[in-house]
Amino acid sequence: MSAPTHATAVEIASSILAADFRRLGEQVSDALAAGVRRLHVDVMDGHFVPNISMGPLVVEALRPLAEKAGAILEVHLMITEPDRYLNDFARAGARAMTVHVEACTHLHRTVQAIRALAAQPGVALNPATPLGALDEILPAIDVALLMSVNPGFGGQAFIPSTVDKVARLRAVLRERDLERIAIEVDGGVDPENMAALAAAGMTIAVAGTSVFGAGAPVGERIRLLRAACVAAPPRARPRPAIRGSRR
């Protein structure tokens, strides 16, 4: 499975955490009908983050919709000991799994286990975690996810410094010939910051409230996000990022 590269349009990953669970199937179907091909499932355990969300049964329930549309179900494992649950999520239908560097004792082993399950391996960083934490694991992953809010709850305000963090990571990927790796941004992404993130080098935008929030149909909200990406200015050459990175 290949991850998007920065040369392609930004892909929208609809985060179902913000959906109305009374109408989950309907809202996910609306997102898929609007062309979304990545469904983002936030998994929280009440330990790594101060909230509890959903597990493999939700992934399994969404699997028929995703498979019919040719979409990827990605799980964002904001949990301690994620290795214990990788097989369960793979059996449920997850085709991409992202774990947090802050939660994994043996990160390479976890990433290898995800790839062995025929899923795209991703690694996430919390807002205060420096990019250097990705230095050794980058060649082994398909997706680098940068949190633009502190994880645990949907609907939080976007942390503006994330734009510079994306640009610095893009510079590192370019310098190390790793531009196949997708840069995913999760938290508070909306039409107002979409252009700046796209210009900095984001390739996957996790959008929850900006897709499933009240006030406009799901398809219209997705259209607005895409329009913001198209309006993004050309990407500037960002300043070098991780000090001491291997090339």
Please provide residue 244's backbone torsions phi and psi, each rounded to the nearest 5 degrees.
85, 15
The most distant pair of C-alpha atoms in the chain lies apart, rounded to whole Å, by 49
Q: Give strand ranges (E) for the chain.
A: 11-15, 38-44, 72-78, 96-100, 120-125, 143-147, 182-186, 204-207
What is the residue-level pLDDT of the chain in tens, covering all 247 positions? 434 333 347 999 999 999 999 999 999 999 999 999 999 999 998 888 877 889 999 999 999 999 999 999 999 999 999 999 999 999 999 999 999 999 999 999 999 999 999 999 999 999 999 999 999 999 999 999 999 999 766 667 899 999 999 999 999 999 999 999 999 999 999 999 999 999 999 999 999 999 998 789 999 999 999 998 875 555 544 444 444 433 3
Q: What are phi and psi of 142, to 5 degrees?
A: -105, -25
Contact by Cβ (8 Å): 76, 208:
no
d(CA 146, CA 126): 7
Kindly name the residue from 30, 45, 142, 186 that is annotated as catalytic: 186
Q: Are 40 and 54 in contact (CB under 8 A)?
A: no
Q: Would you say residue 160 lies in a domain?
A: yes
Q: Is 45 a catalytic residue?
A: no
In a domain, 65, yes or no: yes
For residue 48, give the CATH number of its domain: 3.20.20.70
How far, in Å, CA of 39 to CA of 22, rounded? 17
Question: Token digits for 200?
Answer: 């900095």
Task: Report d(CA 239, CA 169) in Å as an integer.
Answer: 10
Tokens (6 digits) for 120:
């795209």
Position 50 in a domain: yes
Residue numbers of the domain that contains 163: 11-230
Q: How far apart are CA 112 and CA 210, in angstroms?
A: 33
**Domain total in the chain:** 1
Phi, psi for 240 (deg, rounded to 5): -55, 155
Question: Residue 83 catalytic?
Answer: no
Whether 242 maps to a domain, the answer reads no
Give me the helix-helix angle, 56-69 and 24-33, nearest 10°. 30
Which one is catalytic: 30, 42, 45, 142? Answer: 42
Name the 3-class secondary structure at 219: helix
User: CA 212 → CA 69, 79, 90, 155, 182, distances in Å?
Assistant: 19, 24, 26, 11, 24
In a domain, 191, yes or no: yes
Q: What pLDDT score does 236 carry?
A: 46
The answer to whether position 243 is within a domain reads no
